[in-house]
Amino acid sequence: MGALSLLSGGSSPLELFAHSGRWVTDPDIVQGYCHDALGLQGGFEAVFRPENTADIQEFLRMYSDKGMSVTCQGLRSSLTGASMAPGGVALSLERFNRILDIDRRRRRALVEPGVVLAEFKSAAAAEGLFYPPDPTSAAECTLGGNVATNASGSRSLKYGATIEWVRALQVVDGSGHLLTARSAEGGKICAGYGAFYNPAHLFVGSEGTLGVVTRIEVALTELPRAFMLVLVFFPDMTRALDFVIDAREDPACDPRSLEFLDEGCLQIIRGRAEGLNIPSSAQTLVYFEQEYAADEGYEPRLDAWSRLVERHTPLVEETRVAWTDAQKEHVMKLRHFVPESMNALSIQAIRTGGCKISTDWAVPYRRLPELFAYFEEIRGRLGSMPVVRFAHIGEGHPHFNFIARDPAEKRAAEEVDWLMARKAVALGGTITGEHGVGKMKREHLALQYPPGVIAAMKALKRSFDPKGILAPGNIFMADEAA
C-alpha cells in the first residue's frame, strides 16, 4: 500500500471508516473503480465512499496534510480520463444519491451529486417540471459529473448547458473547508471581477480540481406539453449541413434539438432499427425535436419543416415522424447505441495499445462546412482506422470517434484531433463543448486561452487546493498546477 500505510495505523479515523465500508483497500473491490467508459485504467490504491459531508471534510483534512492525491468519481462515464489517476485514492460519491427537495412553486431542486441524471429528470417530470440538460449517457451519469464537465446534450440548443441551470453548490475544498457558492440572482451586480459574479459557476467545468461538490441546487422549468421527433435522410453530407444552417436561420423552425448521424453510424444502427426504414442511399441522418403548444397544434411547425426538407433532400419521402413515447425512446436508444458500440471497440483497442479518440470541438454553426471540409483534407492521416461522426449539429458541435487499434494509430488520431481542435478555435469555436479537458485534452488548452488566463486558472486551483491533492492531472499536468 506504500504511502497509504502512513494513515492506517493507531487510532486513525480510517479504521472507523473501514468498519462501515467507507474505506476500502481490498484489491478486488478497488479494481472495480479503476476503469472508465473508454476502458482507460487507473491505479488507485484505495477507495473512499463517504456517506456525508463531514466524512469528506475529515478525509480531505487528513489527505491535505499528507499531500496524497484524491480523484472524485461518479459513475465513471468520463470520455477524457478525468475519473482515473495512476495512484492515490478514488473518492466515490455513489452514496450521495438523494434527491433532497423538489420545490414546485420555486421551480428548484436540491440534490446530491451521486444522483443519476435520468432518475432525477423522471422525478422532476412527476412534479410537472423539466430539467433540460440531457447528455446521451443520462442513465449512466450523475448530476455531480454533469456539473464537473458542464455537460449539455442535444437539448442545449434551446435550453443551454448545465451551467445555465446551476444556482448554488456546496463544496468541500482541498483543505477540508466547507463553502457555499451561490450565484447572484438580482438584475444588477458590479461587485468585483465579472468572472466571479456567479461564484457557483467557478466550480462548473472544474472537473474535480477545485473541490468536492456535496450538494447541488438547480433551476427547473415547466414540462413541455408536446413535441415531435422528425428524422430526415440525406444522400450526402453537404446537403445535410446546408439543411442544418437553414433550419437554424428559419424563424418558423424552433427546434429544441438538431442532431446528426453519418453513414458509419447508420451502419451501426441498421440491424436494430426495428421498423425504421433507413434508405440504402442515405449517407446522413438529421433528426430534430420540435415542441409545439397544445392550442397551436403541430401542423404549423410541421408545415414549415416540410418546406425546408423538400428544398434540401431528394429523400423527402423517407422522412419519418416519431409521435409516441415508445417511438421517440426507440430513436434515442439507437442514438445511444452508437457511442456505446464505439466505447466497446475502445476497450478492445486498449488491449493492443490503442484507444478511442473522442473529439469534442465545436464551432459556430455557420462554419460547419469549413470544419468538415478541413477534416476531408487531413483524413488520409488516419489510414484505415474506423471513423464515425455524430453530433449536436445544430450547435456546431460534432463528435468524431476514431478507433486507434495500436500505438501508431493512436498517435495519428491524436495528431488529427489536435489539428481539428486548432482549426475549430480558428473558426471561432472551442476545443471541448461538453466532455471537458480531463487528461486527454490538456495539450489543447493553450489553443483556447492565452498564457495569462491559464495562469489565472492555476492560481484559482492553488487557492482552493493549496496542496494540489485534488484530481491530479485533470485540465493541467499535476506538476504544473502545484
pLDDT in tens, 29-83: 999 999 998 888 999 999 999 999 999 999 999 888 888 899 999 999 988 999 9
Q: What is the pLDDT, as a whole number, of residue 369?
A: 98
116-125, 187-196, 331-340: which range is least confident on average?
A: 187-196
- The mean pLDDT of 437-462, rounded to a whole number, is 96
Predicted confidence (pLDDT) at residue 148 exceeds the cutoff of 90: yes
Q: What is the pTM of this model?
A: 0.91
Count Cβ atoms below 10 Å from residue 199 Cβ, excluding itself. Answer: 17
Q: What is the dihedral of CA 446, 450, 455, 458, to 10 degrees?
A: -40
| Per-chain mean pLDDT for the chain | 93
pLDDT in tens, 333-347: 999 999 999 999 999
Q: What is the pLDDT, as a whole number, of residue 480?
A: 64
pLDDT band for 478, please (50, 70, 90 cuts).
confident
Residues 6+ apart with CB under 8 A from 402: 356, 357, 359, 382, 385, 386, 387, 413, 416, 417
Q: Beta strand pairing status for 320-322 and 257-262?
A: unpaired
* Residue-range domains of the chain with CATH: 2-94 (3.30.43.10), 99-222 (3.30.465.10), 227-333 (3.30.70.3450), 352-448 (3.30.70.2740)
